[in-house]
Chains A and B, each alone.
Chain A
Amino acid sequence: QVQLVQSGAEVKKPGASVKVSCKGSGYMFASHAIHWVRLGPGQRLEWMGWINVGSTETKFSQKFQGRITIKRDLYANTVYLELSSLTSEDTAVYYCARDGGFWSGYQDFWGQGTLVTVSS
């Protein structure tokens, strides 16, 4: 069965970077893009970026441009989100989600979420 398993909770100081992993199993990993979405306290869901796992093409929200990196390791069936220059505004639960397929219009499987807390 398809699963996305994310790394554990992180506590970071302002100015630091965080790296969250998302390991896929139960499907052809390179065949589906992966999205990263976050939910901050009292906020709406926020789309951060996307990687075409097969081609490594990425797209990011302009809001995070310059401090976001999304990479994949095909041997480990894992996608990584790295966010730098953290502030308290980055405190959120971060989710990876599998794209349903080329122009499917949906994300069909989601990771369990990773809480990132930014605090001095």
Chain B
Amino acid sequence: DIVLTQTPPSSPVTLGQPASISCRSSQSLAHSDGNTYLSWLHQRPGQPPRVLIYKVSNRLSGVPDRFSGSGAGTDFTLKISRVEADDVGIYYCMQVTQFPHTFGQGTKVEIK
């Protein structure tokens, strides 16, 4: 199985300041079809997860443009340009390049 490792495990941030989360994969997530199937999800307590970014850098409809994704191969990053109060929760990277799909261990974003 592909193992995804996120850093940091927790990220206290000041409102209005940027935040960055890293996700490293145990093997390349490049698919033979030319796409890289790495997503970023956000989950608030008591709510289902929500996909923010798919295929590394594509924002799902309705996701604010302060969220951006980048990376290739085995190293990926989610950036929040200016953190808002609504952004607290746990962020997960997820790969769907290969079965079984797998998730990172999560990064908790909280306000300082």
Contact = CB atoms under 8 A, between A and B. Distances in A.
Given A45-B92, A45-B94, A47-B103, A105 B39 contact: yes
23 contacts: A37-B49, A39-B43, A44-B104, A44-B106, A45-B41, A45-B49, A45-B92, A47-B103, A50-B99, A59-B100, A95-B48, A97-B48, A97-B49, A103-B35, A105-B35, A106-B51, A106-B55, A106-B60, A110-B48, A110-B49, A110-B50, A112-B48, A113-B48
Nearest to A95: B48
Contacts, number: 62
Given A105-B39, A105-B55, A45 B103 contact: yes
Nearest to B96: A105
A113 B44 CA distance: 13
B105 interface: yes
Interface in A18-64: 35, 37, 39, 44-47, 50, 59-63
Interface of B: 1, 33, 35, 37, 39, 41, 43, 48-51, 54-55, 58, 60, 92, 94, 96, 99-106
Contact of B101 (A35, A39, A108, A112): A35
Contacts of A108: 51, 60
A106 B100 contact: no
Contacts of A14: none
A75 to B, nearest CB: 26
Contacts of B1: 61-62
Given A45-B49, A45-B92, A95-B49, A105 B102 contact: no
A39 to B, nearest CB: 8
Nearest to A107: B51
Contact of A47 (B37, B55, B102): B102
Given A46-B103, A47-B102, A104-B54, 20 more contacts: A35-B101, A39-B43, A44-B105, A45-B43, A47-B100, A50-B99, A59-B99, A60-B100, A62-B1, A63-B100, A97-B48, A100-B54, A103-B33, A105-B39, A106-B39, A106-B51, A106-B54, A106-B96, A107-B51, A108-B60
